[in-house]
Amino acid sequence: MRYRFSVQGMECAACRGHVLKAVSGVSGVGAPQVDLLNRVLSLEASDASVISQVKAAVEAAGYGLTPLEVTDSPKLRRDGASDRAPLGQFLATLLWGLPVCILAMAGMAGFPGPEFSWLSVSLQFLLVLPVLYVNRQIFLRGIRGLFHGSPTMESLVALAAGSGFLYPLIGLLASWWRRTSPEGVIFETPAMLLVLFTLGKWLEGGARNRATAELRALQRHSPRTATLLRGEKEESVPVEQLRVGDRCLVRPGGVVPADGVVLSGHSSVDQSAITGEWIPVEKKEGNKVLGATLNGDGVLVIQVQAAGGESLFGKVIALVEETGASRAPIARMADVICSWFVPGVLLIALGTVLGWLLLGQGWGVALARGVTVLAISCPCALGLATPVAILVATGVGAKKGVLFKDAATLEALSRVKTVVLDKTGTLTEGRPSLASIQCAPEWDEEALLAVAASLEKGSQHPLGAALVQEAEGRSLEIVGVSRFQNLSGRGVLGEVQGRLWGCGNLPLLQERGISLPEFAREQQTDKATATPLYLFSQAGVQAIFWMTDPLRKEARETVESLEKQGLSCVMLTGDRQQVADALGRQAGLTECQGELMPQDKAHWILERQKPGSGVAMVGDGINDAPALAAAQVGVAMGAGTDVALETAGVVVLNPSLMAVSQAVSLSRNTLKVVRQNLAWAFCYNLFAIPMAAGLFSPWHLVPPPWLGAAAMACSSLIVVGNALRLRKI
């Protein structure tokens, strides 16, 4: 069972590492994930007794755990729940801290008289006390982290602000004891540090909220209540109470509460919340509807087939949450550095103080340099570089109807060099129809169509479904089949009314040793883009059903878009080579492979796939499962079937094929942003920390502590702001 917790006190990448380390040390815990942006821990545990051990381990590391309510409908949490808490903390810090800074600057400006010095320093001391009190949690969490051996960003701030307070306090007490003027004693450092730190956390929180905007917008589509029909009575109930088989009424403009089938009514439904496609889809009796979609101007009565977390929308939300919390391989080096970053900075700060003292400088100069090192270092920039970009990308993808299974898949898609496209349901509309029938002279075509439809009733293939639909449209009798066999990639066999029949493609005929009759050879060359299904008995082929499936209108545009991104596109299909070549020319493809079995497609992909030159397979998620699994990245087109969600790394719910090109573009831009963020975070700390320590003092590059705090805040904001650019893709 999977459990989710809100983590208190987790503020930076170092915190994330400490929590993950604590949880991973508990036996019986599986697949732990720590979402830094939403401050959520999720894990799998075999029984509830493990949870108490997890809680104890996390609390021992200096953090708190609060179980999140487990409902059937997962909820995305807004970072920090509200902007008011960090904003209020910043305003209170500014209210008391700004006068301290003004008085300190007045003292440094040389206002005359010892009386003013005593008044100024005394007021600074009294005003800085509320600043410290307002931010007491920073000190409590920071010092607790030090005692637990898990220092964090707040530990650095607590040490910097604490040192900046204690040193002038000692100077003030010494002046009082000696009855001398407290010249040079100022409390500006802790006040300015905490003002800038709380300002940075407030701005960073707002930026994080914008990073999750798409995910929160997606969550807002989640239905809250449903109109349940109990006989003729209507009852409004929470969607969590819906069960499979319940009947629900959906009024015009209402939200469909669960996945189901229409029992009665007729309407158009806006499915953009799930597919990203804004064109409404007509729904009538017998059609499937999806939860969280918006009903049009008709009244629908639906029967629930899946509700809450089992609905497609629930699975989408859960997948988006898991992807946002997962880690991309590119972040591994940053994770290792973050685990050592804060202890390293503490050692550098200590070394800086001792170094300046050994060089003959006073305690004031030495502490100022050490405090600046603590204030300017920024592990948050390193920790946020990858997850904030991944979170924004998954939100943008979900809005467009593209789901990434995890961050590793998002990264892998950016590295592919070849895109393999299936034909039926991918390059074509996936809604084939019967164009014509050729049959042996002694047979009636409708009688043979009825036989073929009876066989194909048990098949999931789109061509078979088209035959069934045609037979039902002609009101032909579809009978039961015994000894039924579904031969993957070839066709079906079965006994209809005491006679053994088969319906499938040419490889199935060749496998059974059946040759084509004269009537089949006569017109076969005239069907360049039509796919034949052969109906045969022990006496040979009795009918050929020519099926047509039009090319998607956006197929050529998609191929051109992928090729502009430097990708080579290939079609693999089980259809005839003649059909593959004809449709390939229409789509603008230069390489098309026909007459391939599902395992042949997988073998072709494995042969083409090399390190640094990955292959992405785009298929329907059902018949292409072996090829999807063989590819470095499997991209499943379709209605988010369970097979697609389990087999493919990327699921495209948007009915437009262009979503595939958008997914590739999004993944490449995301990795570009991640690299930029990591480069910035590394370069910032590599330059800023030595500068703060005073190594650049010969060139007069010696920032004061407050400037270091400002630089630290800006560093995190730059990382988050850069990731937000992905929202415009």
Torsion, Cα 277 279 283 287, to 10 degrees, reads: -30
Note whether 443 and 543 are within 8 A (CB). Answer: yes
Q: Cα–Cα distance between 546 and 473 in angstroms, integer?
A: 17
Could you tell me which of 626, 568, 632 has the C-alpha nearest to residue 602? 626
C-alpha separations of 115 from 40, 108, 118, 183, 224 in Å: 54, 15, 5, 11, 67
Which backbone phi and psi does 43 adopt, to 5 degrees?
-160, 165
| 563-569: long-range contacts, CB 8 A cutoff, minimum separation 24 | 565/661, 565/664, 565/665, 565/668, 566/417, 567/416, 567/417, 567/418, 567/419, 567/664, 568/417, 568/418, 568/419, 569/418, 569/419, 569/421
- Active-site amino acid positions: 422
Q: Cα–Cα distance between 65 and 8 in angstroms, integer?
A: 6
Q: Cα–Cα distance between 65 and 54 in angstroms, integer?
A: 9
Which backbone phi and psi does 123 adopt, to 5 degrees?
-65, -40
What kind and span of H or E run contains 183? Answer: none
Q: Calculate the CA 606 to chain-centre distance.
A: 27
Note whether 192 and 706 are within 8 A (CB). Answer: yes
Q: Cα–Cα distance between 698 and 288 in angstroms, integer?
A: 74
Q: Which residues contact 115 (CB under 8 A, 6 or more apart)?
A: none
- Paired tokens of 154: 């707040």
- Paired tokens of 472: 């039902």
Q: Which residues contact 410 (CB under 8 A, 6 or more apart)?
A: 323, 328, 390, 393, 394, 404, 667, 670, 671
C-alpha separations of 684 from 287, 381, 385, 669, 714 in Å: 57, 9, 13, 22, 11
Q: Which residues contact 670 (CB under 8 A, 6 or more apart)?
A: 389, 390, 392, 393, 410, 414, 726
Say if strands 281-283 and 64-67 run parallel, antiparallel, or are unpaired. unpaired
Q: Cα–Cα distance between 350 and 156 in angstroms, integer?
A: 12
Q: Cα–Cα distance between 113 and 277 in angstroms, integer?
A: 74
Note whether 377 and 689 are within 8 A (CB). Answer: yes
Q: For residue 728, how many other CB atoms are within 10 A of its CB?
A: 7
Say if strands 591-593 and 568-572 run parallel, antiparallel, or are unpaired. parallel
Q: Cα–Cα distance between 552 and 430 in angstroms, integer?
A: 9
Note whether 388 and 307 are within 8 A (CB). Answer: no
Q: Cα–Cα distance between 520 and 438 in angstroms, integer?
A: 7
Could you tell me which of 615, 605, 623, 470 has the C-alpha nearest to residue 543? 470
3-state secondary structure of 151: coil
- Paired tokens of 388: 């904030």
C-alpha separations of 73 from 6, 29, 56, 438, 455 in Å: 17, 23, 28, 52, 40
